[in-house]
């Protein structure tokens, strides 16, 4: 599922996966590595996402001995939860049609 605004993808599977990786690692750098993408690409995706929301999904964390990091805000956590819930509900509601679509795809 993708949600677009102004011709750009505001929320989609890649951005949700990136948010989940940030939540798991606490770092854009580590999240990007976990998803095999460049730091710049990850930063741009998160910046685009934050700009498309009323309040940001990720926020910088001031560093201690090991420097700063990044964490999901309340909005970011809610966004991930809502997105995953919609995915689950859609999969159940569309099960028969998904099977038919998969039947059209060759091995």
Domain holding 33, by residue range, is 3-104
Structurally, how many domains does the chain consist of? Answer: 1
CATH of the domain at 18: 1.10.10.10
pLDDT confidence of residue 65: 62
Query: DSSP string of the chain?
Result: --EEETTEEEE-HHHHHHHHHHHHHS-HHHHHHHTT--HHHHHHHHHHHHHHSSS-SEEEEEEETTEEEEEE-HHHHHHHHHHHHHHHHHHHHTHHHHHHHHHHS--
Q: What is the pLDDT of residues 2-56, one digit of tens each?
A: 888 887 778 999 999 999 999 999 999 999 999 999 999 999 999 999 998 999 9
Q: Left, alpha or beta for 24 (phi > 0: left; psi -120 to 50: alpha)?
A: alpha
């Amino acid at each position: 599922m993708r949600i677009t605004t102004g011709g750009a993808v505001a929320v989609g599977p890649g951005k949700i996966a990136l948010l989940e990786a940030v939540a798991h690692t606490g770092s854009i750098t580590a999240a990007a590595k976990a998803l095999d993408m460049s730091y710049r690409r990850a930063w741009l995706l998160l910046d685009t996402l934050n700009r498309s929301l009323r309040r940001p999904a990720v926020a910088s964390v001031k560093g201690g001995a090991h420097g700063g990091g990044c964490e999901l805000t309340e909005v970011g956590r809610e966004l991930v939860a809502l997105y995953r819930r919609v995915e689950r509900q859609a999969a159940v509601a569309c099960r028969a049609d998904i099977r038919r679509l998969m039947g059209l795809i060759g091995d």
